[in-house]
Amino acid sequence: MDFTFSQDEIDLRDGAREYFRDRCTPEVLRKLVEKNSADLGSWSEMLEMGLVSFLVPESAGGLGMSNTGFVLLAEEAGYVASPEPLIDVAGVAAPVLASLGNEAVDQIAAGTTRVVTAHSLNPYVNQLQPADKVLHFMGDAVSLIDASDIEVDAVESIDPLRRLSKIVSAKSTPVASGDEARQLAAAAASRGALFTAAELIGLTAAMIDMSKNYVVERKQFGVAIGTFQAVKHHLSTAFTKLEFARPVVYRAAATLSDDDEHTGLHVAHAKIAAGDAAINAAEAAIQVHGGIGYTFEADLHLFMKRVWALTGLWGDRNYHMNKVDRAVFDRLSSLGPAETFQSAGNADDH
């Protein structure tokens, strides 16, 4: 029983943190918004750092790292509100393609193509560029489709750094069908929900930090508003929810590859806990910012709007709460003390 990250995971996280916070600053994001662009142009750099092929097996040219390690990367990407589709490509599409032995995974690792996802849980594709491919999970088929073979309508998100497309029609050739396709779609959904939860954790931490900085600077009644208990308590509550959501997300990452009856429940819990923490932090953040928080002049809106989008992706709160409901009332035979983790004995079953 060990809840700590490996030194490798920590080192890679630290490297990614330094890179993201240097490359994707709020100033850079504001400039993109002013130019009406959502393309940070950092894909080749992330590729070079190994972030894109983080979960791709070493045999296919990747780093062969763990889901727990990728959760830390997703947190860092969330902390800077990176608009790049890293979670989609590296967290979902690449490992699913790798499990199929599909050659597109080599192209992702080599940087010759990007594969974003379309999934029945998500009504829109984000950040689809002309040279991309789409890994398309619909019903009983999984298809890999060139962007040029897809007809899309653009739809507008309130988040200026998301670029959404609604697929109108596509010329698809399935790479998997029937039960296999359904399993792949479920695996993709688990990955998407888990890493989106991690991204939400990062966004939550960022909103708490920017609020903290603001209430130390902003003076009213002659003092920093951060001295007022009413202001402090909003942020303390947000911080507490963050502290208690994090281990839930880490547990879901550590047990994702078990792929057993508990996986769906663990992922659902992670998405709910991270989403609730993020919404709470966003509301606390705008409250302590006051009027400036309601404008494009503060950075907060970029983070808050991302939270609104991500809480609904890869299964919204209702979807995941229904999963918890089925587990608690129909499936789990025991759920009191001593049932949170598996015994060593059960490990042999896997």
CB of 3 to another protein, least distance (A): 4
Asked if residue 63 binds another protein (CB under 8 A), the reply is no
| Nearer to another protein among residue 47 and residue 300 (C-beta) | 300
Longest dimension (CA), the chain: 67
Which 3 state secondary structure label does DSSP give 125? strand
Interface with another protein, residue 175, by CB under 8 A: no
Judge whether 78 and 206 are in contact, CB under 8 Å. Answer: yes
For 181-207, letters b (16+ CB in 10 Å) and e give bbebbebbbbbbbbbbbbbbbbbbbbb
Among 152, 208, 210, 282, binds another protein (CB under 8 A): 208
Answer for the pair 52, 77: CB distance below 8 angstroms, yes or no: no
Contact window for another protein (CB under 8 A) among 19-27, 81-89, 98-106, 319-327: 319-327
Query: Can residue 345 be called a binding residue for another protein (CB under 8 A)?
Result: yes
Q: Rg of the chain's alpha carbons, rounded to an integer?
A: 20
Q: Answer yes or no whether residue 12 interacts with another protein by CB under 8 A.
A: no
Residue 4 touching another protein (CB under 8 A): yes
Which one, 83 or 264, has the nearer CB to another protein?
264
**257 makes contact with another protein (CB under 8 A):** no
Asked if 278 touches another protein (CB under 8 A), the answer is no
| 240 binds another protein per the rule CB under 8 A | yes
**Alpha-carbon gap, residue 203 to 196, rounded angstroms:** 10
Q: Which residue has the tokens 């045999």?
A: 59
Q: How far apart are CA 212 and CA 217, in angstroms?
A: 9
Instruction: Using CB atoms within 10 Å of the CB of residue 70, give its burial: 0 to 12 exposed, 13 to 18 middle, 19+ buried.
Output: buried
Task: Provide the minimum distance between the beta carbon of 34 and another protein in the complex, in angstroms, as a whole number.
Answer: 31
Q: Site for another protein (CB under 8 A): which residue of 14, 261, 297, 341? A: 341
**Which residues contribute to the site for another protein (CB under 8 A)?**
1-6, 66, 68, 208, 212, 215-216, 224, 226-229, 231-233, 235-237, 239-240, 243-248, 250-251, 253-255, 269, 272-273, 321, 324-325, 328-329, 335-347
